[in-house]
Structure 1
Amino acid sequence: MKNIIADKALLKRIDCAYLPVTNAEAAAEWYSRVLGLKLRSPVKPGRGAIMIMGEGQWLFLLPCPNSVPLTFPTTGWTKDEEPFEMFPLCFETDDIRSLHASLLSSGAWVEEQIRDEGDCGMQLNFKDPDGNKFQAWQAPRQE
């Protein structure tokens, strides 16, 4: 077999993601109500849900009754080098303030303040009701 070393990126973008949830119907309702995602088709008992993001990518909410939330410990993300509960996905938003307000009003775990990370934009971390941890960011304004 020939050893191939790619001279260009062979993966273009993430088209969809698969998330473990304990109850797909309840999760779909939360993702719709709190994050404004659209349900692609009715949730069938024992089956997952497909949520559509603003630019068309899909999030699959898959039933996993004994699921472990999507997080993992890592280092290098805190000033004191303590382990950090990392998020596996970072979402982009055009309205981080409304997102933050919606998460707060839903009772979800969300950082108290939106962080201004300069050239890395505005950021916040949050969790869905199943404990899956995510980051959302908004690109810095171009002056």
Structure 2
Amino acid sequence: MQEHSPLSHQRIEDAKAGDFDAYRMIVNEYSNALLSVAYSVLGDFHEAQDAVQEAFLKCYRNLHTLNDPTKLGSWLYAIAHRTSLDFAKRSKRTLPLHETAPSTDNITPWLEQYVIHDSVWGALQKLEEKSKSVVVLHYLSEWSMKEIGQFLNMSVSAVESRIRRAREVLKQHLARDFEHYFLTHRLGRDFEQQVSEHVLKRAGHFYIPVTDKGQATAWFTLHFHLGTSRHGNPVLESGQELYLLECQRHAPGRMPVLTFEAASVGELEQRLHQQGIGMEPIREDALFGKLLVFYDPDGNKYHAIEPN
């Protein structure tokens, strides 16, 4: 059975070869599928998200071992399932919700959410694990019955039968709108960005969040004369690739995204000023020496230092 994957084999091969943008497509496409697997094991959406994030990190580190791109779905399923079982073994939580109980002022909505969660999970316990994954994936994703079957290695008729049975069980044990409950936990692009940042950090890569990768690459090339990698990212003088992480929403932080030494921050200031780049006046720093702070078009902060 050929598995679900709207990604071309070439895209998957690109991801295997280190193209991080192609890898992000995998994360975006399979996030809810892996969430359904993790939730079916753990029974908590917050912890399931942590397990999915860890599973995608394992995917990034081991994607080069995937010999057959058509088996990407089952390969990811196996990783997510094993990771979720590991999380379940070391979990010591006594409450099925990730959050701790709030103050008494906000206890009513928290209790309502707790009751809904407990009721849904209790009803799902009437089903075997694969049926849990089927029905949760049905509500979390926009996949067709055929696509769900391909991911879980089941026939379409088996998927339809399990979903029909699961609906009957859920309706029998739940008075609330359980479909809405699942939809509120559907993952989107924000989660993909979160996973991407987590993976890059854990892999030890330099990365900068930007709103337009093409424009950001051109900015680095124009103003700092950096070369680019075969994946289109700027390459620092040290030879390290600077990953430009394109984000739908980006709020620049207060900390610098990159700190580097400059032979003369005075000369750098003059050059950046001539190029119209926003900056702060050079100041003396007791720890670093001369410090120049400047900003890219996305508002990210950079520190250039000239040691004493």
What TM bracket, shorter-length normalisation?
Answer: 0.5 to 0.7
**Unaligned ranges ≥5, structure 2:** 1-202
Offset at 1:127? Answer: 0.8
**Unaligned ranges ≥5, structure 1:** 1-13, 44-48, 73-85
Q: Secondary structure of 2:233's partner?
A: strand
Tell me the distance in 1 between the aligned counterparts of 2:217 and 2:239: 16
Deviations 1:17-45 (A, max 9, x none): 1111111111111111112322223x6xx
2:245 aligns to what?
62
| Contact 1:35-1:99 within 8 A present in 2 as well | no
Offset at 1:118? Answer: 5.5
Stretch of structure 1 that moved more, 124-133 or 113-122: 113-122
2:205 aligns to what?
16
Q: Secondary structure of 1:122's partner?
A: strand
2:291 aligns to what?
123
Determine which structure has the larger helix proportion and give its number. Answer: 2
Alignment of 1:123-142 (within 5 A): 123-140=291-308
AA aligned opposite 2:301: K
Structure index of larger Rg:
2
Alignment of 1:87-102 (within 5 A): 87-102=256-271
Question: What fraction of aligned residue pairs are identical, expressed as a percent?
Answer: 32
Count residues with an aligned counterpart: 106
Where does structure 1 differ by over 6 angstroms across 4 or more consecutive aligned residues? none
Q: Secondary structure of 1:123's partner?
A: strand
Q: Secondary structure of 2:266's partner?
A: helix
2:214 aligns to what?
25
| Contact 1:15-1:57 within 8 A present in 2 as well | no
1:36 aligns to what?
225
Q: Secondary structure of 2:260's partner?
A: strand
Q: Secondary structure of 2:291's partner?
A: strand
Tell me the distance in 2 between the aligned counterparts of 1:137 and 1:27: 22
TM-score, length-scaled by structure 2: 0.31
Return the structure number with greater relative CO, CA threshold 8 A, min gap 6: 1
Determine which structure has the larger strand proportion and give its number. Answer: 1
Tell me the distance in 1 between the aligned counterparts of 2:247 and 2:205: 18
Tell me the distance in 2 between the aligned counterparts of 1:98 and 1:40: 27
